[in-house]
Structure 1
Amino acid sequence: MNQTPSASGILLVDKAQGWTSHDAVARTRRLAGTRKVGHAGTLDPMATGLLVLGIGSSTRLLTYVVGADKEYEATIRLGAGTSTDDAEGELLVWAPAASVRALTDDAVRAAIAELTGHIKQVPSAVSAIKVDGKRAYARVRAGEDVVLAARSVTVTSFELLDSDPVNLDDGVCALDLRVRVECSSGTYIRALARDLGAALGVGGHLTALRRTRVGPFRVADAASIEGMDVAARLLAPASAASALFPRYDLTTEQAIDLGHGKRLELPDAQLDQLPGGPVAAIAPDGRLVGLVEFWGSQVRVLANFPADEIVAGSPSNGADEE
């Protein structure tokens, strides 16, 4: 029995606080009418902001989005750490009010500078990193003591945007920092908050987090999943791939051959102009034929994309659930 081809494209979702990434995927599956939906990196329920989803064959692009650099806006509260390095954990001992009041923006910026660049970071114990096949957070919830190994990450930019003293009950005070962070994939902003507080001698934890960018994709171009028209919001595979990678425009014959799995031979005149790494191979009609890489004068296919799949912007009568 013939089925209507399912839609394909990249969906930029502005995730609401309290939602898990799994919640967003599940809702998108219902809205899109297909189970073939994936995401390019989770966001904690506490966090808001950009979640990049792939639908249909565009899930193949997510492998390349996962490792892209990220940008966040966050609020770090100095004055106490927590068991989870964020506001959802158990508060540890508050630092003396005098120590918190003595903090200056210059001191904060100096400590931030030490956490910028290529650094070694110990992820939070409640992260999703697997330890002997089990998520670290699951081990913590089971009562185990979990200490994760330090890993290399890159914090390209760690900028103090604003600081605001906060007076809490019983004479306790804190200093809330609003920051912007650009970093490599795998960097934990909670861990930056923890380490900044430790460096300043007062403790620190994350109270708010918003992801504003993943690679070339920005939250300004995203929409809430509530009431979303998925078909109207889909970014076509060719557009998404061209944002992620250099673009190579195929001839009609090359598009047919590449789609049939044939190896392409490139003219010698083009060889000095070819980019390295994955390249988006685009047909004359604007369709993404595949992701390729160049080996000398030959083209090696990394991922093919079906020619008969409905893509964003194409007329569609709907999609059947797989």
Structure 2
Amino acid sequence: MKYVVVEKKVGETPLQALEVFRQTDPTFQDIPLTYAGRLDPMASGKLLILIGDECKYREKYDGLDKEYEFEILLGVTSDTGDILGMTNSDTHIATQDYFEKDLQKITTSLVGSHVLPYPAFSSKTVSGKPLFQYALEGTLDSIEIPTIRIHIYRMEYLSKKTLTHKELIEQVIGKIGLLQAPVDSGKIGADFRKAEIIRQWETLSPQGAEKYTVLKFKAVVSSGTYIRVLAPIIAQRFGTLGMAYSIHRTCIGKYRAVTSFFGFWRKTFT
């Protein structure tokens, strides 16, 4: 066995998901394991784990395409681009009604290549130091945030739902509560600011918004695409702010696009 694909849960880091897999079978206790491709703590879905000698060839798995189903919460933003970030009640913008034909049109317009910045809260390094350290220290202005060229092969709007302010806060805090963050580890950023972020969500002002709009999409994207970077950009196309409300990875492999509406997977890891 060269690899296995596991389902990472919301609240787990990739390393934690790897260790959960290791515990499923005593034969893996002393065998090297590594994961190929990151998945944010608040995201769920398929995670590729390499086994034994295959760990030496991790680089050949770096360029794999991914498929995601994800939701965007409109009208609220955060410093991470997802719910595991510091929000600002002043950034709330009342959302409007969106017609499905307009949603599909805007969604289709996003298909193609884009140059996007890495998330400020990510492990991408600048001068040997991860970006999240600059963000936590408040020194992001002292560096140039690196960018990456990504490709959206296909994207489609799936559905829409609304949440009351109470439902939103309860769901968000419930998800963040699943985060297995160490306490007082001494390492900067190790706790993901969990307690502080929960407190801020608890005090988020509805700013007159009785309901919040959540849009659901499916997208096939190239390696290196951060959905929590893409989510606010999509929201901007709708004339508002937004963040990734949920992210679920549904496929890993090599995708070939024929048109912006059609393509096929040449290889998948299952």
TM-score, structure 1 as length reference: 0.60
Instruction: Indicate the residue corresponding to 2:71 in structure 1.
Output: 75
Structure with bigger gyration radius? 1
Instruction: Indicate the residue corresponding to 1:295 in structure 2.
Output: none
CA distance in 1, matches of 2:154, 2:223: 13
**3-state SS of the aligned residue for 2:16?**
helix
CA shift, 1:216, in A, is: 5.9
Instruction: Indicate the residue corresponding to 2:183 in structure 1.
Output: none
CA distance in 2, matches of 1:94, 1:158: 27
CA distance in 2, matches of 1:142, 1:37: 33
CA distance in 2, matches of 1:127, 1:105: 33
C-alpha distance after superposition, 1:15-42 (max 9, x if no partner)? 1111111112334445412241111111
1:201 to 234, 239, 260: 239
> Which runs of at least 4 in structure 1 moved beyond 4 Å after TM superposition?
242-245
CA shift, 1:184, in A, is: 0.3
Instruction: Indicate the residue corresponding to 2:216 in structure 1.
Output: 178
2:138 to 140, 143, 164: 143
The answer as to 2:165 corresponding to 1:168 is yes
The answer as to 2:140 corresponding to 1:106 is no
**Where does 1:47-62 land on structure 2 (aligned, <5 Å)?**
47-62=43-58
CA shift, 1:182, in A, is: 0.4
Instruction: Indicate the residue corresponding to 1:298 in structure 2.
Output: none
CA shift, 1:243, in A, is: 5.4
Contact preservation (8 Å) 1:81, 1:197: no
Q: How many residues get paired?
A: 212
Task: Note the residue ranges of structure 2 that are not aligned, 5 or more in a row.
Answer: 167-205, 256-265
**CA shift in 2, pair 1:150/1:58, >3 Å:** closer
Instruction: Indicate the residue corresponding to 1:272 in structure 2.
Output: none
CA distance in 1, matches of 2:50, 2:77: 36
Query: What is the identity percentage for the equivalent residue pairs of Structure 1 and Structure 2?
Result: 27
**CA shift in 2, pair 1:109/1:150, >3 Å:** farther
Instruction: Indicate the residue corresponding to 2:9 in structure 1.
Output: 16
Task: Note the residue ranges of structure 1 that are not aligned, 5 or more in a row.
Answer: 1-7, 218-241, 246-322
2:86 to 87, 90, 110: 90
CA shift, 1:94, in A, is: 4.3
CA shift, 1:128, in A, is: 1.9
TM-score, structure 2 as length reference: 0.71
**Which structure is richer in relative contact order (CA contacts within 8 A, separation 6 or more)?**
2
CA shift, 1:115, in A, is: 2.3
CA shift, 1:87, in A, is: 0.6
Over the aligned positions, Cα root-mean-square deviation in angstroms equals 2.5
Instruction: Indicate the residue corresponding to 1:285 in structure 2.
Output: none
